């Protein structure tokens, strides 16, 4: 069965610092992997997705993620955090007809 | 283009009451799903549907029923509400393929007293 593990339920970074949100997955087949962002009192929006093309995936708002099969990881990064990046981030894996989400990481950006 | 529309946005129920959460999408998506979101637990799949007339269970289906009589609508029914069903519920849809993103509704905040 597929699963997703997000390390760190809360991450704090200073404005302008590197953002690194960790995601590890397990899947019995080559996975489709996603990162979604949730702003307060809203639904989830897609940041980026990996679908077996390039291993480095670029998304919206300057975020990117690298698929590493050997490490079963799909970590999300952004070189320089903005205040507007404060939100909750979810990693997800899609296999068969089910999409499984991680438990989420709340990102705090400190001025 | 309205996307995925959920109603109501807020609901308070008493233990034992029943209700239906509505979800409609206008994108002709084959796939629709219901999630519940609880603090520290992320989103957990309740039920999903790959097309009209086809539904299946997700991770946490107990206490919930669904049906899919049309492509557009996928209502979620709580048969006898329990406090453990207090949560935020999201409906999501996508085209049929698993490599496509999910489109989410704005959520229903449900409290069961």
pLDDT per residue of chain B (113 residues) written in tens, 0 to 9? 679 999 999 999 999 999 999 999 999 999 999 999 998 899 999 999 999 999 999 999 999 999 999 999 999 999 999 999 999 999 999 997 778 899 999 999 999 99
CA separation for the pair B44, B78 (Å, rounded): 16
Cβ contacts of A77 within 8 Å, gap of 6 or more: A18, A19, A20, A21, A63, A64, A65, A66
Nearest Cβ partner for A49 among B33, B101, B104: B101
Contact state of B41 with A103 under an 8 Å Cβ cutoff? yes
Task: For residue A66, give how far its alpha carbon lies from the nearest alpha carbon of chain B (Å).
Answer: 17
E strand intervals along chain A: 3-5, 10-14, 19-21, 24-26, 32-38, 44-50, 56-58, 64-68, 73-78, 87-95, 98-101, 105-110
* Residue range A21-67, pLDDT digits in tens: 999 998 877 789 999 999 988 889 999 999 877 889 999 999 999 99
- B33 within 8 A of B51, measured Cβ to Cβ: no
Query: Which residues, in sequence order, are bridge partners of residue A49?
Result: A34
Q: Could you tell me how far CA B4 lies from the centroid of its own chain?
A: 11
**Chain B nearest-CA residue for A42:** B106
* Residue range A86-106, pLDDT digits in tens: 999 999 998 878 899 999 999
Contact state of B43 with A9 under an 8 Å Cβ cutoff? no
Residue A15 in this model has a pLDDT that exceeds 90: yes
More confident residue, A5 or A97: A5
Beta-carbon pairs below 8 A across chains A and B? 58
pLDDT of amino acid B1? 66
């Amino acid at each position: 069965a597929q699963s997703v593990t997000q390390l760190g339920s809360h991450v704090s970074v200073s404005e302008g610092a590197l953002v690194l949100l960790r995601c590890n997955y397990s899947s019995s087949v080559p996975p489709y992997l996603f990162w979604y962002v949730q702003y307060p009192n809203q639904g989830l929006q897609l940041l980026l997705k990996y679908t077996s093309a390039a291993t480095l995936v670029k998304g919206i708002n300057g975020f990117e993620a690298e698929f590493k099969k050997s490490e079963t990881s799909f970590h999300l990064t952004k070189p320089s955090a903005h205040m507007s990046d404060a939100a909750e981030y979810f990693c997800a894996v899609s296999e068969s007809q089910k999409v499984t989400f991680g438990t989420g990481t709340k990102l705090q950006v400190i001025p | 283009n309205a996307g995925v529309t959920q109603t109501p946005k807020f609901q308070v129920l008493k233990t034992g009451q029943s209700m239906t959460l509505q979800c409609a999408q206008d994108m002709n998506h084959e796939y629709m799903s219901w999630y519940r979101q609880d603090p520290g637990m992320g989103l957990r799949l309740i039920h999903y549907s790959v097309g009209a007339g086809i539904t299946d269970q997700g991770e946490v289906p107990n206490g919930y029923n669904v049906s899919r009589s049309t492509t557009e609508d996928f209502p979620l029914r709580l048969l006898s509400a329990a406090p453990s069903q207090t949560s935020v519920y999201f409906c999501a849809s996508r085209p049929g393929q698993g490599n496509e993103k999910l489109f989410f509704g704005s959520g229903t905040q449900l409290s069961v007293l």
